[in-house]
Homo-oligomer: A and B are copies of this chain.
C-alpha cells in the first residue's frame, strides 16, 4: 500500500461503495460492513450511520478512531459475511482471512486486502440521528491491484458492481477542488 493524497481521499467515498470500518477496542480488532456513508467536506470529512445495533459502535465511541477500508468486487462474499455476523462472538479478521496492518495514527488496523484505506478520527457523534462524523488523517492505495471495481449495496441483498467510467472533467472544471 502506497500513501494516497489525503485531499483526494473523498473520491473513494463519494461514488457510494460499500465500505469496511475497522476498530480496536483496546484489546482486539473488529470490522463492520457499512453502506450508509457520505462525504461531508473536502477537508476531508465523512459521515457514517451506525449505533448501538453494531457491536463496533462501542469501540468507535470509546477509541474515537477507525479505519475506512474500500473493498473490491472480488471481496463481495467477505463483505457480506462480515456484515451478517457480530464481533461480539466472532474474530472477523481471522474468520474472513483479512490481514490487519498497523496504521500510522490510529490503533484500528488497515486491511491489507482492500483497495484503499483511510485512517480516521471521530470528530462528532450526532446521537439523535446515529450519525458519526469522521475526519481522514492519512490515506493509502494498493496501486498494484488490477481490478479496482467497487461494489454498491442496494439494501435488498443485491449489489451493483462498478461499470464503465465516463469523463466530464471539462464540463465540471469549475466545481473540482484544486489539485484533484
CB distance from A128 to the nearest CB of B (A): 7
A167-B176 contact given A36-B38, A36-B39, A49-B39, CB 8 Å threshold:
no
Copies in the complex: 2
Whether, in the assembled complex, A112 has its beta carbon less than 8 Å from a beta carbon of chain B, the answer is no
C-alpha spacing A22/B105, complex, angstroms? 41
Q: Which of B8, B158, B180 contacts A166 (CB 8 A)?
A: B158
Closest 7 CB pairs of A and B: A16-B16, A163-B163, A157-B169, A38-B38, A15-B152, A157-B172, A14-B155
What would 19 more interface pairs be, CB under 8 Å, given A80-B172, A84-B175, A160-B162?
A11-B156, A15-B16, A15-B155, A16-B17, A35-B39, A38-B47, A40-B129, A73-B166, A124-B128, A126-B129, A149-B163, A151-B166, A156-B169, A157-B173, A158-B165, A158-B169, A159-B165, A160-B163, A161-B166
